[in-house]
Amino acid sequence: MPDRGGGPTGPRIRVGRPSRRARTLLMTLGVLAVLAMAFVMFAGFWTDWLWYRSVSYSSVFTTTLWTKIGLFLVFGLLMAVVVGLNIWLAHRLRPPLSAMSLEQQSLDRYRMSLAPYKKWVLLAITALVGLIAGASASGQWRTWLMYVNGVAFGQKDPQFHLDVSFYAFDLPWYRFLLGFGFAATVLSLIAAALTHYLYGGLRVTSPGARATGAATGHLSVLLGVFVSLKAVAYWLDRYGLAVKSSDFKATDNWTGLRYVDANAYLPAKTILFCIAAICAVLFFATLWRRTWQLPVIGFGLMVLSAILIGGLYPAIVQKFQVQPNEQAKEAPFIRKNIEATRDAYDINRAQVQDYSGKSTTDDDAKLRASADDAASYRVMDPNVVSPAFQQLQQKRNYYQFPKTLDVDRYKDADGKDQDTVIGLRELNLNGIPKRNWINDHFTYTHGYGAIAARGTTTGKNPKGSPDFTESGLPTTGDLGSYEQRIYYGEKTEQYSIVGGPQKELDYEEDGEKTTSYKGDSGVSLSNTFNRAAYAVAFSEPQILYSGAIGDGSRILYNRTPKERVEAVAPWLTIDGDAYPAVVNKRIQWVVDAYTTTNGYPYASRTTLGDTTADSLTTNQRAVVAQQNQVNYIRNSVKATVDAYDGKVTLYEWDTKDPVLKTWRKAFPGTVQPRSDIPQELMEHLRYPQDLFKVQRELLTRYHVTNPAQFYSGSDAWQVPDDPTNKESGSVPPYYLSIKMPDQAAQKFSLTTTFTPKGRPDLGAFMAVDADAASKDYGTIRLLRVTSTVKGPGQVQSELNGNDDVAEFVRNLKGTDSDIEYGNLLTVPLEGGFLYIEPVYTRGGTQNYPLLRKVAASYGSKTVFKNSLGEALNEVFGVTGAEPPEETTRPPGETQPPATGDAALKKAIADAQKAYSESEAALKKPDWDAYGKAQAALQDALQRAAAAQPTSDGKTPDGKTPDGKKSNGANGADAPSGSGDKAKEPEGTESG
pLDDT band of 620, cuts 50, 70, 90? low
- State the Cα torsion 63-67-68-71 to the nearest 10°: 180
The answer for residues whose C-beta is within 8 angstroms of residue 574's C-beta and 6 or more apart is: 562, 565, 566, 591, 592, 593, 594, 624, 625
Residue 361 has pLDDT above 80, yes or no: yes
pLDDT band of 887, cuts 50, 70, 90? very low
pLDDT at position 958: 44
Indicate the SS3 state at residue 750: strand
pLDDT at position 252: 73
Residue of higher predicted confidence among 229 and 214: 229
| Amino acid identity at 338 | I
Average pLDDT value for residue range 958-964: 42
pLDDT at position 257: 93
Q: Which of 30-34, 494-498, 569-573, 682-686 has the lowest mean pLDDT?
A: 30-34
C-alpha span between 211 and 119 (Å, rounded): 25
User: Taking Cα atoms as reference points, which of 492, 404, 483 lies closest to residue 441?
Assistant: 492
Q: Which of 92-106, 505-519, 659-673, 780-794 has the lowest mean pLDDT?
A: 92-106
pLDDT band of 754, cuts 50, 70, 90? very high
Mean pLDDT, the chain, whole residue set:
85
Determine whether 594 is exposed, middle or buried from the number of CB atoms within 10 Å of its CB (0-12, 13-18, 19+): buried
Residue 498 has pLDDT above 80, yes or no: yes
C-alpha span between 266 and 242 (Å, rounded): 10
Per-residue DSSP letters for 633-651?
A: EEEEEEEEEETTT--EEEE
Residue 959 has pLDDT above 70, yes or no: no
pLDDT band of 443, cuts 50, 70, 90? very high
pLDDT at position 202: 78
Residue of higher predicted confidence among 834 and 961: 834
Residue 510 has pLDDT above 80, yes or no: no
Q: What is the DSSP letter of 48?
A: H
Q: Which of 328-332, 581-585, 934-938 has the lowest mean pLDDT?
A: 934-938
The answer for residues whose C-beta is within 8 angstroms of residue 890's C-beta and 6 or more apart is: 458, 459, 460, 461, 463
**Quick one: three-class SS letters along 954-988?**
CCCCCECCCCCECCHHHCCCCCCCCCCCCCCCCCC
Residue 2 has pLDDT above 50, yes or no: no
Average pLDDT value for residue range 716-736: 89
pLDDT band of 152, cuts 50, 70, 90? very high
Residue 899 has pLDDT above 80, yes or no: no
Supply the angle between the helices 118-138 and 171-198 in degrees, to the nearest 10. 160
Q: Which of 17-21, 368-372, 416-420, 486-490 has the lowest mean pLDDT?
A: 17-21
Q: What is the DSSP letter of 115?
A: G
Q: What is the DSSP letter of 443?
A: I
pLDDT at position 726: 77
pLDDT at position 983: 34
pLDDT at position 816: 76
Q: Which of 312-326, 406-420, 694-708, 737-751 has the lowest mean pLDDT?
A: 406-420
Can you give the pTM of this predicted structure?
0.83
Percent of the chain with pLDDT over 70: 86
Inter-CA distances, 440 with 42, 401, 508, 531, 861, Å: 27, 18, 21, 18, 56
pLDDT band of 796, cuts 50, 70, 90? very high
Q: Which of 230-244, 356-370, 661-675 has the lowest mean pLDDT?
A: 356-370
pLDDT at position 238: 95
pLDDT at position 948: 58
pLDDT band of 371, cuts 50, 70, 90? very high
pLDDT at position 905: 66
Residue 579 has pLDDT above 80, yes or no: yes
Residue 208 has pLDDT above 70, yes or no: no
Residue 476 has pLDDT above 50, yes or no: yes
What 62-66 contacts at long range (C-beta under 8 Å, 24+ apart), as own/partner pairs, is 63/145, 63/666, 63/667, 64/141, 64/570
pLDDT at position 808: 87
Q: How many CA atoms lie within 13 A of 458 on its CB side?
A: 28
pLDDT band of 809, cuts 50, 70, 90? confident
Residue 214 has pLDDT above 60, yes or no: yes
Residue 857 has pLDDT above 80, yes or no: yes
The pLDDT tens digits for 322-353 are 899 989 999 999 999 999 999 999 999 999 99
pLDDT at position 928: 66
pLDDT band of 363, cuts 50, 70, 90? confident
pLDDT at position 28: 83
C-alpha span between 199 and 249 (Å, rounded): 58
The pLDDT tens digits for 514-546 are 999 998 899 999 999 999 999 999 999 999 999
Check if the beta carbon of residue 854 is closer than 8 Å to that of residue 379.
Answer: yes
Percent of the chain with pLDDT over 90: 60
C-alpha span between 244 and 598 (Å, rounded): 10
Q: What is the DSSP letter of 382?
A: T
C-alpha span between 565 and 639 (Å, rounded): 7
Residue 170 has pLDDT above 70, yes or no: yes
pLDDT at position 974: 33
Residue 629, H or E segment: strand 629-630
